[in-house]
Amino acid sequence: MKYICLGYYEPAKHAEMTEEERNAMFDECFEYDDHLRANGHFSAGEGLQPPETGLTVYWKNGKVATTDGPYIETKEQLGGILVLEARDMNHAVQLMSQHPSLKYGSSFEIRPVADMSEIVKASEQRRLKLTAR
Amino acid sequence: MPSNVPDDLSRSIETLYRLESGRILASLVRLLGDLDLAEEAMHEAFAAALESWPQTGLPDKPRPWLISAGRFKAINVMRRRVRFDAVQSDLALQLEARVKEAPQEEEMEDDRLRLIFTCCHPALPSEGQVALTLREVCGLTTEEIARAFLVTPATLAQRIVRAKAVIRDKAIPYQVPASQELSARLGAVLQVVYLVFNAGYSAEATGAELSREAIRLGRLVLDLLPEPEVMGLLGLMLLQESRRAARSSAEGELILLDRQDRSLWNREQIAEGIALTESALRSRRFGAYTLQAAIAAVHAETSSAASTDWRQITLLYDRLIRIQPSAVVELNRAVAIAMYEGPEHGLRLIDDLLASEELTNYSLAYSARADLCRRLGRLSEARASYEKALTLARQEQERRFLLRRLE
């Protein structure tokens, strides 16, 4: 099964680190990612640029609107996502609980991937009917 | 999974996982002394198999291959953890020394028994025992167990995480208890097996799966530890399971024992259940499960509700009350007495039980009372008791049954 792991970190904490400390953290984390990769657990993953580089798109009064970034006020920010391949939820928990970023104050939200295939199939059939009319 | 694995080999590995992962995990737990580490090592060993077997072919003895691969994977895991956490370096050294001992084939079955006793350790909360046993011993996934117990995977995952934390914090050893402790600890194991079975008995959709798992677990424990009460419990489960097809109508309505179509009872399960119960009874060291199995066997051997030997059933309940006094057993005994001495005798006993207040929240006490009143023609009293039962009944199937009775 696939699990999406949303990694949260505290930007303020990272900003206080020396370059040496930050490099040590990266080395540990990437080494663990390599270990996950070697065992077929790391399906995909990306780090994110800091929150202030992003924007949010939404619908307001019948028009598209945008705002800067996510809610910057919250102390913890999404820093990266990892698509984990694990046998079950507890296996996913076990793999992520050894991730070195945890001891640097990060946390992971682990969410099972939803099987949308039935919903997609039903939707395709509805749309097919529409075009046939 | 690497894409270069031929189909038949990847199917063999999947079959191997399904049939052998329980044994392999149990042996790794013994060798490594740590459940989490053993699980991780086992998964890595299977990953290693996918990596190397396409070149080398399936080994002659895949199980020892996987255990051996798991041992060495565990050393790598520990080395990595040491760099992450210096406190673990002593542990890593101990582990390396331990892993160098060769695994012994004859210990494998004992390994599974050790793991069962750990998962059912009395220090763990009951929900944790059940979840851990189903996952670590039966090999079900977190999601499968969650679905069967109608909880979210996240809730169930946390039960397992907490149960494992208790094992670690209290340093619960992976071992079969010494003989003076064995019978008490075996009681806890059998209770977990029966809890799984009962969860399957009542659930409509997912039930069959859990009951099958409980029976499989019962067989495993019996294989490893042929004690009379294990036979009794397996016999009891088989005899109860034999009635599954007759227990509810096509519309899912509950059908009580006296109305069941006995031709739907599973004869094979009955024969096996009775044989097990008889061997347990012959041992003269049996307990409450065997007596309950004996009661179920009397029903199973009878061709119609009318020809049931209620006197024999009452005698068995008498013995059951002596070794395991409980108001619920007394209620069942009262119902049996009503069947051959007349409803008024049963009613008097049930009213005494209700007066003692132990069963005041037990819906079945009121529905049994209602049924006896109905047979005595005391219809308004019967109605009042059915209504009381309905306010207490929690299961949908039972509620629908009571509503039909009220009509």
3-state secondary structure of A86: coil
Q: Tokens 């959709």 sit at which residue?
A: B205
Range(s) of the domain holding residue B407: 320-407
B19 and B38 belong to one structural domain = yes
Q: Which member of A31, A89, A100 has the closest CB to residue B157?
A: A89
Chain B residues touching residue A98 (CB < 8 angstroms): 81, 84
Determine the pLDDT at residue B249. 85
> Could you give phi then psi for residue B149, rounded to 5 degrees?
-100, 10
Q: How far is CA B402 from the centre of its chain?
A: 29
Question: What pLDDT is attached to residue B3?
Answer: 56
Nearest to B40 by CA among B71, B14, B63: B71
Q: Is the same domain home to B304 and B352?
A: no
Give A-chain residues touching B40 at CB under 8 angstroms.
Answer: 94-95
Do B292 and B240 lie in a common domain? Answer: yes
Residue B206's nearest CA partner among B146, B268, B127, B139 is: B146
Q: Same structural domain for residues B96 and B130?
A: no
CA B350, CA B343: separation in Å to the nearest integer?
10
Collect all residues from A whose CB is shorter than 8 A from any CB in B. 1, 28, 31-32, 35, 39-40, 87-91, 93-95, 98, 100, 103, 112
Give yes or no: residues B86 and B123 share one domain.
no
- The DSSP symbol for B228 reads H
- CA-nearest residue to A28 within chain B is B84
The residue out of B103, B123, B156 marking a domain boundary is B103
Let me know whether B300 and B406 are in one domain. Answer: no
What does pTM read for this prediction? 0.80
pLDDT digits (tens, 9 = 90+) for B217-227: 999 999 888 99
Residue range(s) defining the domain that contains residue A78: 2-132
Last residue of a domain, one of B60, B87, B103: B103
Mutate to test the interface with B, among A90, A93, A110 (most CBs of B within 10 A): A90
Check A90 against B143: CB less than 8 A apart. Answer: no
Distances (CA, A) of B157 to A112, B49, B128, B181, B372: 12, 27, 10, 30, 46
Cα B389 vs. chain centroid, distance in angstroms?
Answer: 28
* Interacting residues of B345 by C-beta distance below 8 A, sequence separation 6+: B337, B338
Q: Can you say whether the dihedral through the CA atoms of A113, A115, A116, A119 is positive or negative?
A: negative
B209 and B231 in one domain?
Answer: no
In total, how many domains does chain A have? 1
The neighbouring-strand residues paired with B254 are B248
pLDDT score, position B103: 54
The residue written with tokens 């899912």 in the block is: B252
List of chain A residues with pLDDT < 70: 70-73, 133
Kindly report the CATH number assigned to the domain that includes residue A33. 3.30.70.1060
A contacts of B41 (beta carbons < 8 Å): none
Q: Report the alpha-carbon distance of residue B245 to residue B46 in Å, rounded.
A: 39
The answer on B115 and B95 residing in a single domain is no
Q: Name the residue facing B161 among A1, A35, A93 (closest C-beta).
A: A93
Q: Decide which of B257, B279, B308 is a domain's last residue.
A: B308
Asked whether the beta carbons of residue B135 and residue A87 sit closer than 8 angstroms, the reply is no
Yes or no, beta carbons of A35 and B161 under 8 Å apart: no
Domain match, B112 and B218 both: yes
> Would you call B383 helix, strand, or coil by DSSP?
helix
Tell me whether strands A55-60 and A2-9 are parallel, antiparallel or unpaired: unpaired
User: Are residues A40 and B2, on separate chains, in Cβ contact within 8 Å?
Assistant: yes
ipTM for this prediction: 0.81
CA dist., res. B379 & res. B271, Å (int): 41
Does residue B216 share a domain with residue B116? yes
Q: How many CB pairs under 8 A join A and B?
A: 50
Residue B111 tokens, joined: 């390994």
Distance between CA atoms of B363 and B375, rounded to whole angstroms?
19
Residue B2 maps to a domain: no
Which of A36, A84, A89, A98 to mutate to probe the B interface, most B CBs <10 Å? A89
For residue B215, the distance in angstroms to the closest alpha carbon of chain A comes to 24
Q: What pLDDT score does B252 carry?
A: 79
Same domain (yes/no): B79, B111: no
Q: How far apart are the first and last CA of chain A?
A: 39
The strand ranges marked E within B64-111 are none
What does each of the 407 residues of chain B score in pLDDT, given as a tens digit?
A: 455 678 888 888 988 988 889 889 999 998 888 899 999 999 999 989 988 999 998 999 999 999 999 998 998 888 877 776 666 667 677 777 766 665 555 566 678 889 999 999 999 999 999 999 999 988 889 998 888 787 899 999 999 999 999 999 999 988 888 888 888 899 999 999 998 898 777 655 556 788 888 999 999 999 888 999 999 999 999 999 999 989 888 887 888 888 899 999 999 999 999 999 999 999 988 999 999 999 999 999 998 888 999 999 999 999 999 998 989 999 999 999 999 899 999 999 999 999 888 888 888 999 999 999 999 999 999 999 999 999 988 777 788 888 888 87
Report how far residue B7's alpha carbon sits from residue B163's, in angstroms, rounded to the nearest whole number: 38
